[in-house]
């Protein structure tokens, strides 16, 4: 592994050491909540998407994404609260 010169900062060329495959950190396992949230988000997004691929009225743009995120979090939270009550 030989360092090479690269333009990384404002000061000019610096020594850059290339990353080897074994040097990278292992990926963390997603939490249960994260997996359920992702599934809920995909389910809601699929429900609010029209045949043409556009989002339905009220769910387009950034505000639409924000609504879907909020709905997905609420759905997962509600499902988890039902589990705890048993």
Whether pLDDT at 1 is above 60: no
Confidence of residue 62 (pLDDT cuts 50, 70, 90): very high
More confident residue, 10 or 51: 51
Neighbours of 7 (CB within 10 A): 10
Counting residues of the chain whose pLDDT is more than 70, the rounded percentage is 78
* pLDDT of the residue at 7: 61
pLDDT, average across residues 52-76 = 95
* pLDDT of the residue at 81: 87
Q: What global pTM score does this model have?
A: 0.67
Buried b (16+ CB within 10 A) or exposed e, 12-50: eeeeeeeeeeeeeeeeeeeeeeeebbeebbeebbeebee
């Amino acid at each position: 592994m030989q360092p090479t010169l690269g333009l990384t900062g404002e000061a000019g060329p610096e020594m850059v050491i290339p990353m080897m495959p074994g040097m990278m950190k292992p990926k963390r396992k997603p939490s249960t909540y994260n997996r359920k949230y992702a599934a809920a988000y995909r389910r809601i997004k699929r429900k609010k998407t029209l045949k043409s691929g556009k989002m339905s009225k009220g769910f387009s743009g950034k505000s639409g994404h924000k609504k879907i995120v909020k709905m997905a979090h609420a759905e997962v939270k509600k499902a988890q609260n039902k589990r705890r009550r048993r």
